[in-house]
Chains A and B, each alone.
Chain A
Amino acid sequence: MQAVQPRPSSAPALQFPKLSALTSERWLVGSFVFVALLAISIGLLLGPAQAYRRAPALRWDIPVFSYYYQALTLHGVLNALVFTTFFIVGFAYFVTQRTLQRALASVQLAWASFVIMLLGVVLAGYAMLTGQANVLYTFYAPMLAHWTFYLGLALVIVGSWVAALVVFMTYFAWRKEHPGEAAPLAVFALLANYLMWFSASLGVAVEVLTMLLPLSLGIIKTTDPQVSRILFWFFGHPLVYFWLIPAYVSWYTMLPKQYGVKLFSDPLARVAFLMIMIFSIPIGVHHLFVDPGISELAKAMHSLLTFVVAVPSLLTAFNIGATLEKAGRARGGGRISWMWKQAWGDPLIAAQICGMLVFAVGGVTGMANASFTLNNALHNTTWVPGHFHTTLAGGVFMTYIGILYWLLPMLRGRALFARPLATAQVYTWFAGILVFGMSMGRAGLEGAIRRTDSGAVGAYTSEAAAPWMNLSAVGGTILLISIILLFTVILGTLFVSKREPQTAAPILVRAPDESPRWTENWNVWVALIIITNIVMWGPVLFGALNWVSGFWSTPYPMQ
């Protein structure tokens, strides 16, 4: 790797090659992307395997990981925690450097973040692959995994904190040299993302370090499951926004650049990111609507604020919709026809637009989840994975693929392999995730339970849910085809492609003049985050503590 030392603030700007990457970028960002791809090479394939296991018409055994809940743990942790975190941290380094046109404030710290996170993945991966951590990615106490699982996940989070620090340091160095100038939107959004992530992950860090890790090491003997769930979901909902914001960065800053149009409203984009940052944490009780230790009032309040956090996404729908209208009109579209005058044949753009369409479905089903009394009918049914496969595996993952299709060629220094296959991959994923999400949702309404090995002997699936579970296997098959296409394109780009890369990074290096500076009052936002969470989570945590018997519960092994 090319050593880039921490530089004084007067250092000259870095010159980035237009179509390829600096060696330092290639190694650092490439390492993160590589681990991310390694994670989903296992994690994605376990998806269709589970759909086949759960379809009443098939009930096939899962290959390699025959214990359903081990496969499910790997699927959740590798896709939703490892892939996402590594991809986001690498992407954030790349975007920060390119947008601010300067090197990271500390390359050593950036590498430290990678090493810490990698060590975490190795530890957690060991526990999961050897079947000593079949606790799913929510790892609810008092069920226990091997201590390496908790330590590993804690290290992934700590590593991401170091990454956040590096991005903030780089931003403050830039800020010193550019007083009075608004930070470019992409960096602004990533800062908001990291601030939210750091605040939220304090919850799970406390849970892991004071409850689960000492418990798994035998240092303490008892724990409080309700409190551990509360700490987990303090983190768990902002986690999904941590995945979402990089996708929004692509929609807000990269899609306009790729189209050669200007974003409809930069100021309202900033408002949207600020709202997500502040309102994504004090709403986590919507995952705990049927928990016994939380009052109905707190549940209603968190439900209300969940509706508020829908606003930035609805703002995004307008802002991006208006931007797409500009693009469609520029491509010869009229008042209505701009909608289909989009670049449907370009996988980089189609992945994002298809992602938005699936995400809209997820937004609507999410509103149902946010509705506290409706939760009686939906909680822990397959409706819920139906929902988050349209948001995470739909909108977010499709956008990440759209990013990967220009980022990977730049990092490798080769053009995207088999572009038509990449386009086919986008549309098969689009179709597959819609079929899967819809069928899981319907099965859930008919009473199918999530996270249940319904293919096992003696397990129950209602007759009304059975056809929908079978249909979800059809969706899984379409997705399996898409996974094969995805890895064909990725491996082809890495090892087969010979041509020079042809797509520049869609990075905007300057904020437009109308960008408001007040949005960068980070002290105020930190204060607001602290206050809202004391108000919204304080009573929940205090009320859930078991005053009768204290921290009492005996832990159980994971099987």
Chain B
Amino acid sequence: MHIDRYERQYLIAVAAVLGLFFAALVSSALVFGVRLPQPEGYINPLTLNRTVFANPGMRNMGNGVYDVYIVARMWAFDAGSDEKDERGQDVLRVPVGSTVNFYLTSADVTHGFIVERHNANIEVLPGHVGRSSTRFNEVGTFHIQCHEYCGRGHQNMYIKIIVEPADGSAA
């Protein structure tokens, strides 16, 4: 099969560019530690009260690491917080510089989970536990939204995480 000289050179360039892109991706995962959700365990959504998700909420694991267990259901994230916003939805607070491991599951339909301006993104499926970690380097209030259509109240399904200055003064 005849391949034109220029086209052959072009194909080599294409292969090189794509190879470079993929190498960058692999190093983003292996060198810089960017991870994706992967199987963390199965769970029966009808009996969540017999699992760790019976008591959703934030656990301080020390050294600036927090584990947060959240149950998504139509149409709220239950992060177990005592503090609520004006809509009655949960508010989380962490000091700046914290690393937060989010663990999510759904009690009903498929939901989504995304933290504004941070690389934490999970499809929240009933039956599975989704995990995503992110570090909060910036003081401010960030919305945590459901990003998978889950019914009539989907657009109102969001909570907030407030990242406070390290000295504990109000954000």
Contact = CB atoms under 8 A, between A and B. Distances in A.
Interface of A: 67-69, 72, 136, 140-143, 224-226, 229, 264-265, 267-268, 288-296, 299-300, 303-304, 307-308, 310-311, 314-315, 318-319, 322, 367, 371-377, 379-381, 447, 449-454, 456, 458-460, 462, 514, 516, 543, 546-549, 552-554, 556, 558-559
Nearest to B104: A292
B152 A559 contact: yes
Contacts of B145: 449, 452, 460
Contact of B28 (A141, A373, A548, A559): A373
Interface residues of B, number: 64
A289 B149 contact: no
Given A225-B126, A379-B123, 14 more contacts: A142-B108, A142-B110, A142-B126, A290-B37, A373-B36, A380-B147, A449-B147, A456-B155, A458-B87, A460-B143, A460-B155, A548-B43, A549-B43, A556-B74
B155 A452 contact: yes
Given A375-B36, A453-B155, A460-B145, A292 B45 contact: no
A311 B11 CA distance: 8
A546 B42 contact: yes
Contacts of B2: 265, 267, 514
Contacts of A224: 127
B121 A290 contact: yes
Interface in B17-71: 18, 21-22, 25-26, 28-29, 34-40, 42-46
A548 B128 CA distance: 10
Nearest to B158: A460
The majority secondary structure among interface residues of chain A is: loop
A303 to B, nearest CB: 7
B139 interface: no
B7 interface: yes
Contacts, number: 203
A547 B42 contact: yes
Contact of B38 (A295, A449, A458): A295
B110 to A, nearest CB: 5
Contact of B45 (A289, A514, A553, A558): A553
Nearest to B119: A376
Contacts of B158: 460
Given A143-B151, A377-B121, A380-B114, A294 B156 contact: no
Interface in B116-167: 116-117, 119-132, 143, 145-152, 154-156, 158
B147 A450 contact: yes
Identify which of A140, A289, A290 gathers the most chain B CB atoms within 10 Å of its CB: A290
Nearest to A445: B117
B37 A292 contact: yes
Contacts of A299: 36, 38
B6 to A, nearest CB: 8
A548 B44 CA distance: 8
Nearest to B38: A296
A556 B46 CA distance: 13
Contacts of A142: 108-110, 126
Contacts of A308: 18
Identify which of B130, B145, B146, B150 gathers the most chain A CB atoms within 10 Å of its CB: B145
B51 to A, nearest CB: 11
B44 A552 contact: yes
A290 B36 contact: yes
8 smallest CB-CB distances across A and B, nearest first, come from A292-B130, A380-B147, A548-B42, A459-B155, A292-B128, A376-B119, A373-B34, A549-B44
A495 B25 CA distance: 55
Contact of A379 (B10, B121, B146): B121
B155 A552 contact: no
Contact of B37 (A291, A304, A377, A553): A291
Nearest to A144: B109
B131 to A, nearest CB: 7
A311 B14 contact: yes
B3 interface: yes
B106 to A, nearest CB: 8
B62 to A, nearest CB: 25
A372 B14 contact: no
A18 to B, nearest CB: 33
